[in-house]
Amino acid sequence: MMQVHRTTAEWLSKRRVLNGPSIGFIPTMGALHRGHASLVERCRAENDIVAVSIFVNPAQFDDPLDLDRYPRTMECDLALLESLGTDHVLVPAASDLYPEGYRFHVDFHDTEELMEQRHRPGFLQGVLTVVMKLLNLVRADRAYFGEKDFQQFRAVDEMAREFFVGTQIVPCPTVRAESGLAESSRNRRLSQQALHKAPWILKALTEAPTPTEARATLEAQGFVVDYVEERWGRRFAAARLEGVRLIDNVAIYASDT
């Protein structure tokens, strides 16, 4: 039977007796969808114990309104996780994960600020800080991250290696709707009209000859584009539709930059 742990103290008490079997972990911000479900299913297949966290991390939001509007569907999330065979769910409060406030954090320094770093100041710092806390709490053998947030996955993977974290960071393919739209918790904030238009992100990423032309395609469809860039053998886009920020990326056949 799935156990829900609402404080870090409660979870740590349980974690002390979970020695021996392999543990897999999926950190989430809730509002779970088919993409999250695919992570849980893979984790279930590869580990003896499946642990999931649900925590809307205030430290990674640069816009307070975006934080307020982020969908919260705890009851549905817990029901889905139980149906998928999850063993443990950690749902701490912000005051529990940040008992002294945001005094300590993990910084990510690069030669230049790329994509999400440039357009969402403090985002990667917030992500890396909370993921480091959660990895230390869970001490899993493997942690699973979707490739839709590829820059985030890449930063987490590098952090884990840099700080000798014992958890293997496992990338998982992006899950898409039949339309091609990448599954995202933010999709539920889109109107039906916007949901019909949103798959143009994938179409632009895969069909436009260059990032510049992909950007022009999206702008012509009414998107407000933050960026379209090519790095690490992938093409990335971030754009807003009805004020909702959507991101996506696809693999391309190009040299790393």
Residue 179 maps to a domain: no
Residue 180 maps to a domain: no
pLDDT in tens, 115-161: 998 998 889 999 999 999 999 999 999 999 999 999 999 999 999 99
Instruction: Note whether 44 and 154 are same-domain residues.
Output: yes
Q: Which of 36, 105, 109, 196 is catalytic?
A: 36
| DSSP secondary structure of 81-119 | HHHTT--EEE---HHHHSBTBS--------SS--THHHH
Instruction: Note whether 222 and 194 are same-domain residues.
Output: yes
Triad 14, 16, 18: Cα angle to 5°? 75
Across the chain, what does the average pLDDT equal?
A: 94
Instruction: Note whether 105 and 232 are same-domain residues.
Output: no
Catalytic site includes residue 36? yes
Residue 198 has pLDDT above 60, yes or no: yes
Distance between CA 21 and CA 102 in Å, rounded?
Answer: 34
Whichever domain contains 237, its CATH number is 3.30.1300.10
Q: Assign 253 a pLDDT band (cuts: 50, 70, 90).
A: low
Residue 257 has pLDDT above 60, yes or no: no
Residue 47 maps to a domain: yes
- The span from the first CA to the last CA of the chain, in angstroms, equals 48
Number of domains the chain is built from: 2
Distance between CA 129 and CA 153 in Å, rounded?
Answer: 13
Antiparallel, parallel or unpaired: β 244-251 and 234-241: antiparallel
Residue 177 maps to a domain: no
Instruction: Note whether 8 and 57 are same-domain residues.
Output: yes
Q: What is the DSSP letter of 123?
A: H
pLDDT of residue 141: 97
Residue 255 has pLDDT above 70, yes or no: no
Domain span holding position 124: 3-172
- The residues with which 237 forms a beta bridge, in sequence order, are 228, 248
Distance between CA 236 and CA 69 in Å, rounded?
Answer: 24
Instruction: Note whether 68 and 164 are same-domain residues.
Output: yes
Instruction: Note whether 208 and 84 are same-domain residues.
Output: no
* In the chain, % of residues over pLDDT 90: 88
pTM of the model: 0.94
pLDDT in tens, 202-239: 999 999 999 999 999 999 999 999 999 999 999 999 99
Instruction: Note whether 86 and 51 are same-domain residues.
Output: yes
Instruction: Note whether 161 and 226 are same-domain residues.
Output: no
- Which of 23-27, 57-61, 129-133 has the least mean pLDDT? 57-61
